[in-house]
Amino acid sequence: MTFLPKPMQALLAVYFVATLAHFSHNAEFIAFYPNMPQSLTRETVYLAWLAITGIGVAALIVLRLGWPVLGALLLGVYGAMGLDGLGHYMLGLCSEHTLATNLTIGFEVVTGIALLLASSVLAKRRVIGLKSYSHSAR
C-alpha cells in the first residue's frame, strides 16, 4: 500500500480491527445489547460489517487507481461510519451495556474519528498538491 502513507496504513488497520471487534461482539452477543430491534440478527450484523468494510476496500481500490482525493474522501466516509456505534446509546444507557460492549463501541468510535480526521488532512494535502501541480504545468 505504498499509495497510502505508513501512518495511515497503521490507522486503517487498527480501525479495521476495531470495527471487526465491535461488530463481532454485537453479532455474537446481540441478545445482551439493550433494546436491539428484533429484526437485527447475527447474520445481518455481519452483513452490515461487510458493507461498511466494502467502503474501505473501495477507498483502497480508488487510491490504487490513482485518484488520491476521492480515495481519501472514501477513507473518511469509512471512518465516519464508526460513529454509528454511538447509536447503541440511544437504545440503552451506557450503564445498561456490558464493559466489553462499551469498550468495543469506544474503540470503534475513537479510531473512526481518527481515521476521519487523518483522511481529511490527506485529502487536503492531495488537493493542495494537485493545485500546485496544475499551476506549475502552465
Assess whether pLDDT exceeds 70 at residue 132: no
Q: How many CB atoms lie within 10 A of CB 58?
A: 16
Give, in order, the Cα–Cα distances in Å from 91 to each of 84, 103, 112: 12, 17, 21
CB–CB of 76/116 below 8 Å? Answer: yes
Assess whether pLDDT exceeds 90 at residue 41: yes
Task: For residues 43-71, give the mean pLDDT.
Answer: 96
Is residue 2 very low, low, confident or very high in pLDDT (cuts 50, 70, 90)? low
Residues 47-60: tens digit of each pLDDT: 999 999 999 999 99
Q: Terminus-to-terminus CA distance in the chain, angstroms? A: 31
Domain ranges of the chain: 6-136
Cα–Cα distance between 109 and 114 in angstroms, integer?
A: 9
| Per-chain mean pLDDT for the chain | 91
Which pLDDT belongs to residue 131?
59
Higher pLDDT, 126 or 117: 117
Cα–Cα distance between 134 and 96 in angstroms, integer?
A: 55
Residues 83-112: tens digit of each pLDDT: 999 999 999 999 999 999 999 999 999 999
Cα–Cα distance between 67 and 104 in angstroms, integer?
A: 32
Which pLDDT belongs to residue 125?
85
Buried-state track 107-121, b at ≥16 Cβ within 10 A, e below 16: bbbebbebbbebbee
